[in-house]
C-alpha cells in the first residue's frame, strides 16, 4: 500500500471507527461485533505506526471509548477513566512485559491476572459507607448518572459495613441464561432481538423505566478501588481481597502470577475454558501487582502503562476480499471462496473463507475489494458473515457466476438447489476430486496416497476408478518419478491393508450426493449390509432418521446409474465390506428426530452437540430439508437459518436446545 492509499484508508477507518464507537458505547445499537470493531481499530493503529506523519491528532485510537447519552444527567468523574491497551498474542504480552520492566527499572516483577468480563463499566461512589452515585464511564471525564438503575442490582451493596468514603470501578454483566430468557420474551411479543449480553446490559442500565431494569437479573464484578479515605493496599492482589471484605462481588478467578510465563499459562487455560462460566469472557486483564510500581509507571494519554488487556484470539475479524474463486467439490458442487488478505482468526492465519453459494453472495452483496467480517469457530471453515459497505471501493462490481470453468466445463444450477454443479462428471478435475476423497481419512484412509500421488497416477493413465487403486503393481509404480522401491512397497502394503473396510467408510467413499459420514453411518446402522441397502425403496430410505425424501432420492438415483453400478461392482471385486451388527431400535428421547446445526454455540462445540444428539438416539444432518425436525441456531447462523424458516423447520435457540437435551 503506497502513502496515498494509506492516507485514504486511514481517513476512512477513522470515520468508520468513530461511527461504530458511537453506536456501541453511546446508543447501544451495534451494527458489528466487538471483535470486528477491534479489528478495524487495530488496522488503523497499525497504519498509524507505519505512517506516523499521516496520523490524525483526533484519531479514535487516541481517545477513551465511550460517550454521554442525552437521556441522563451528567456526572464529572473524580478519578479519570482509562482504557487498557490491548495485547492480541504472546508476542504482544511479552513486549508489554519487556516495556514495563524497562520503565520500572527492575526485572523482578509479579502480576495479577483477572478475567476480562465482556460487560459494561460502572463507577460507584460511596460517602460514609452509602452508595451515592453510580456513573457510566462516558468519555473518561464525564459519565451518566444511572444510580437509580444500579440500585436494582442485588450484588451491589447500597451500604457498606464501615462508614468509609471510596470510589470503586467494576463491570455490569448479564448472564447467558438470562440473556436468552430476555430474547425469548422479546420474540414472543414481537420485540427487538438483542445481539449479545454486553449490549443488552448496557441498554438495560440506560433504560428510563426502572421497573423494567429490575426484572432483568443484572450482576456485577468490582475490580478496582480507585480512591479511598484510608491507606490503599500495597498490591493489586491485596486490593481485590479487600474489595471482597468490604462486601463487593469480585470475580473469584483472579490469581497472582510470578512472571510473564505464568500470565501466558493462565491466559491459555481460560482461552480453553471461557465458555464454562455464565458470563462472557473476552480475555485476561494483566496488571503489575506492586501498587507503588503502578504509581511510578503512571499513564499515557489514554491508558495505564502498568496494565494490559490480553485478548483471546478473535473468532471474528475484518479483512479485505482480494478475489473470488470457485472450488470444485467431490460431488460436483461449485463453492465460491473469498480469497482474503491473510489475517489471524481464532489463533490461525486465514487467507480463504467460504461464500457457500450464489444466494449467499447476493445476500451479502460481496464484491472484490470489499472489507468484510469473517468468522471462524473451532475447526469449521471460516465464513464471510458481513460486508462493511462504508469501506467499499468506488468501482466495485457485483459478482456473477460464470457459465463454464476451465478444466471443469459447463456449470449449472438446477431448480430447487442452492449450489451450482459441474455438468460433466468425468472431467479430470471431477474424477481426481472423488479419488482424493476416496483415499482420505474419512473414507478408505490409505497412508502415503494423497492428492499429489493420485494426480500423478491419473496423468500416467494408471488409475481412473476406485478399483484401479487396488490393481496397481510394483512394476507400474517404479516407472514413475520419485517412486523408489521402498516407498512403492510401503504404498502397496498400505493399499492391501484397506482391502477390508467398514460399511460406513465404504458408503462415505462412494461420493453419493449429500451422503457424508453422518448419513453413511445412519444408512449402515439401519441396513447392516450393502445388499439390503440396494434393494430398499425410496420411501423406506426417506423414513430413516437423518435421511429424508431429498437425500433418499439422491441415493436411489446414484445406484440406478449404470456407470455407478459398474464402479461399485468393480470395487467389490477388490474389497470386502464388514457387515454391521444391527443395534436394537433406538429408545433415546430424541429417537426419530433430525437436527441441523448452524452458527456458533456458546456452551458446546459443534462436535459436542452432535455427540449429545446421537447419545439420545437423534440424528444430525448438514443439509437443510423439510424432513428435519429442528434447526439449532447459534450466533451468526447464516443462510441455513433462512432456508429452514422457508421450509417450516422448527428453530431452536441454544438455550432451548440445551433444555431439550436434559
Q: What is the CATH number of domain 316-422?
A: 2.40.50.140
Q: How many CA atoms lie within 13 A of 376 on its CB side?
A: 19
- Using a 10 angstrom Cβ sphere, with 0-12 exposed, 13-18 middle and 19 or more buried, the burial of residue 649 is buried
- Are 384 and 316 in contact by the 8 Å Cβ rule? The answer is no
| pLDDT for the residue numbered 591 | 85
Among the listed residues 160, 151, 156, 159, the one whose alpha carbon sits nearest the alpha carbon of residue 170 = 156
Report domain extents, the chain.
Answer: 3-62, 74-311, 316-422, 428-578, 594-661
Q: What percent of the chain has pLDDT over 90?
A: 57
Which cell numbers in the block locate residue 169? 470501578
392 in a known ligand binding site: no
Residue 583 is labelled as binding a ligand: no
| pLDDT at residue 65, rounded to an integer | 52
Q: Please state, as a whole number, how many other Cβ atoms lie within 10 Å of the Cβ of residue 245.
A: 10
Q: What is the mean pLDDT of residues 167-177?
A: 94
Q: Grid coordinates representing 456?
A: 500423478
Pick from 659, 9, 82: nearest CA to 371: 9
Q: CATH number of the domain at 3-62, please? A: 1.10.287.610
The C-alpha atoms of residue 287 and residue 169 are separated, in whole angstroms, by 15
Question: Does residue 120 have a known ligand-binding role?
Answer: no
The candidate with the shortest Cα–Cα distance to 154, out of 28, 247, 253, is: 247
Q: Of the residues 116, 376, 614, 640, which is catalytic? A: 116
Angle between helix 548-560 and 562-572 (nearest 10): 80
257 is in an annotated binding site: no
Mean pLDDT computed over 127-140: 92
Q: Determine if residue 34 is labeled as part of a ligand binding site.
A: yes
Question: The CATH number of 74-311 is which of 3.30.470.30, 3.40.50.720, 3.10.270.10, 3.30.160.20?
Answer: 3.30.470.30
Assign 522 a pLDDT band (cuts: 50, 70, 90).
confident
Nearest 5°: the CA angle 38, 41, 42 is 85
The C-alpha cell 428435519 sits at 628
pLDDT value of residue 599: 79
The pLDDT of residue 548 is 80
Average pLDDT along the chain: 89
The 10 Å CB-count burial string (b at 16+, else e) for 332-358 is: bbbbbbbebeebebbeeebebbbbbbb
Residues near 323 by Cβ (< 8 Å), separated by ≥ 6? 338, 339, 368
- Sheet with strand 111-117: strands edge to edge: 86-87, 307-311, 281-288, 111-117, 255-257
**Spatial distance between the Cα atoms of 167 and 152, rounded to a whole number of angstroms:** 19
Q: Is 490 a catalytic residue?
A: no
Helix (H) or strand (E) holding 321: strand 316-328
What was the pLDDT predicted at 581? 79
Q: Say how far apart CA 293 and CA 105 lie, in whole Å.
A: 10
pLDDT of residue 379: 55
Better pLDDT: 12 or 607: 12
CATH for 594-661, options being 3.30.540.10, 3.10.300.10, 3.40.50.300, 3.40.50.10190: 3.40.50.10190
Whole-angstrom distance, CA of residue 104 vs CA of residue 297: 6
Question: Is 337 strand, coil or helix?
Answer: strand
* C-alpha to C-alpha distance for 269 and 281, rounded to whole angstroms: 12
Q: Is 37 annotated in some ligand binding site?
A: yes
What would the pLDDT profile of 214-243 be if each residue is shown by its tens digit? 889 999 999 999 999 999 999 999 999 999
Spatial neighbors of 112 by CB under 8 A, at least 6 apart, are: 235, 236, 237, 240, 254, 255, 256, 257, 286, 287, 289
Cell output for 272 = 480453553
**Region 478-495 average pLDDT:** 92
What CATH number has the domain spanning 428-578? 1.10.150.20
Amino acid at each position: 500500500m503506497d502513502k496515498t492509499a494509506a492516507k485514504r484508508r486511514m481517513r476512512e477507518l477513522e470515520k468508520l471507527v468513530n461511527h461504530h464507537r458511537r453506536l456501541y458505547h453511546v446508543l447501544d445499537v451495534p451494527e458489528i461485533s466487538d471483535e470486528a470493531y477491534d479489528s478495524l481499530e487495530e488496522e488503523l493503529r497499525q497504519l498509524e505506526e507505519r505512517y506516523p506523519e499521516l496520523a490524525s491528532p483526533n484519531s479514535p485510537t487516541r481517545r477513551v471509548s465511550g460517550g454521554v447519552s442525552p437521556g441522563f444527567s451528567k456526572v464529572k468523574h473524580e478519578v479519570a477513566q482509562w482504557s487498557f491497551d490491548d495485547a492480541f498474542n504472546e508476542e504482544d504480552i511479552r513486549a508489554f512485559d519487556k516495556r514495563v520492566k524497562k520503565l520500572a527499572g527492575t526485572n523482578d516483577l509479579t502480576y495479577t491476572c483477572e478475567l476480562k468480563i465482556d460487560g459494561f463499566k460502572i463507577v460507584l461512589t460511596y460517602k460514609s459507607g452509602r452508595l451515592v452515585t453510580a456513573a457510566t464511564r462516558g468519555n473518561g471525564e464525564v459519565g451518566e448518572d444511572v444510580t437509580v438503575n444500579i440500585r436494582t442490582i442485588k450484588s451491589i451493596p447500597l451500604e457498606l459495613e464501615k462508614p468509609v468514603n471510596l470510589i470503586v470501578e467494576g463491570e455490569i454483566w448479564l448472564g447467558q441464561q438470562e440473556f436468552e430468557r430476555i430474547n425469548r420474551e422479546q420474540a414472543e411479543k414481537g420485540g427487538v432481538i438483542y445481539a449479545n449480553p454486553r449490549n443488552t446490559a448496557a441498554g438495560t442500565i440506560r433504560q428510563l423505566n426502572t421497573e423494567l431494569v429490575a426484572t432483568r437479573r443484572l450482576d456485577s464484578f468490582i475490580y478496582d478501588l480507585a480512591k479511598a479515605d484510608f491507606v490503599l493496599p500495597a498490591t493489586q492482589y491485596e486490593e481485590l481481597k479487600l474489595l471482597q471484605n468490604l462486601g463487593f462481588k469480585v470475580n473469584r478467578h483472579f490469581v497472582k502470577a510470578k512472571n510473564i510465563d505464568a500470565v501466558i499459562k493462565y491466559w491459555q487455560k481460560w482461552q480453553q475454558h471461557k465458555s464454562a462460566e455464565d458470563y462472557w469472557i473476552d480475555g485476561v486483564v494483566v496488571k503489575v501487582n506492586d501498587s507503588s510500581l503502578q504509581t511510578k509507571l503512571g499513564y499515557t494519554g489514554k491508558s495505564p502503562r502498568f496494565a494490559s488487556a490480553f485478548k483471546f484470539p478473535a473468532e471474528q475479524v475484518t479483512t479485505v476480499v482480494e478475489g473470488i474463486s470457485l472450488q470444485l467439490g467431490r460431488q460436483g458442487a461449485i463453492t465460491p471462496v473469498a480469497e482474503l488478505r491473510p489475517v489471524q482468526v481464532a489463533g490461525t492465519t486465514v487467507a480463504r473463507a467460504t461464500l457457500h453459494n450464489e444466494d449467499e453472495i447476493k445476500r451479502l452483496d460481496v464484491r472484490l475489494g470489499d472489507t468484510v467480517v469473517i468468522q471462524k469457530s473451532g475447526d469449521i471453515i471460516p465464513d464471510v458473515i458481513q460486508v462493511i459497505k462504508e469501506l467499499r471501493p468506488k468501482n466495485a462490481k457485483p459478482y456473477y457466476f460464470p457459465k463454464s470453468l476451465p478444466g471443469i466445463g459447463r456449470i449449472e444450477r438446477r431448480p430447487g438447489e442452492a449450489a451450482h454443479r459441474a455438468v460433466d462428471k468425468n472431467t479430470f478435475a471431477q474424477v481426481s476430486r472423488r479419488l482424493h476423497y476416496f483415499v482420505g481419512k474419512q473414507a478408505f484412509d490409505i497412508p502415503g496416497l494423497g492428492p499429489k500421488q493420485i494426480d500423478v497416477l491419473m496423468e500416467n493413465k494408471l488409475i481412473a476408478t476406485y478399483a484401479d487403486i487396488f490393481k496397481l503393481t510394483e512394476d507400474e509404480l517404479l516407472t514413475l518419478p520419485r517412486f523408489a522401491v521402498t516407498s512403492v512397497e510401503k504404498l502397496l502394503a498400505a493399499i492391501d491393508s484397506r482391502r477390508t473396510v467398514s460399511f460406513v467408510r465404504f458408503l462415505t467413499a462412494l461420493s453419493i450426493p449429500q451422503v457424508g459420514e453422518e448419513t453413511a453411518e445412519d444408512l449402515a446402522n439401519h441396513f447392516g449390509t450393502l445388499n439390503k441397502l440396494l434393494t430398499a425403496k425410496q420411501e423406506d430410505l426417506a423414513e430413516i432418521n437423518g435421511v429424508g425424501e431429498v437425500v433418499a432420492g439422491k441415493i436411489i438415483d446414484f445406484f440406478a446409474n449404470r456407470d455407478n453400478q459398474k464402479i461399485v461392482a468393480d470395487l467389490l471385486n477388490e474389497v470386502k465390506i464388514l457387515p454391521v451388527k444391527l443395534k436394537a431400535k433406538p429408545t433415546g428421547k430424541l429417537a426419530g428426530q433430525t437436527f441441523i446445526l448452524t452458527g456458533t454455540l456458546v456452551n458446546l462445540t459443534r462436535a459436542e452437540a452432535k455427540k449429545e444428539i446421537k447419545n439420545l438416539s437423534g440424528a444430525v444432518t448438514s443439509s437443510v430439508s423439510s424432513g428435519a425436525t429442528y434447526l439449532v441456531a447459534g450466533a451468526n447462523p447464516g443462510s441455513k437459518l433462512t432456508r429452514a424458516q422457508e421450509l417450516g423447520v422448527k428453530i431452536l435457540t441454544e438455550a432451548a436446545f440445551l433444555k431439550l437435551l436434559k
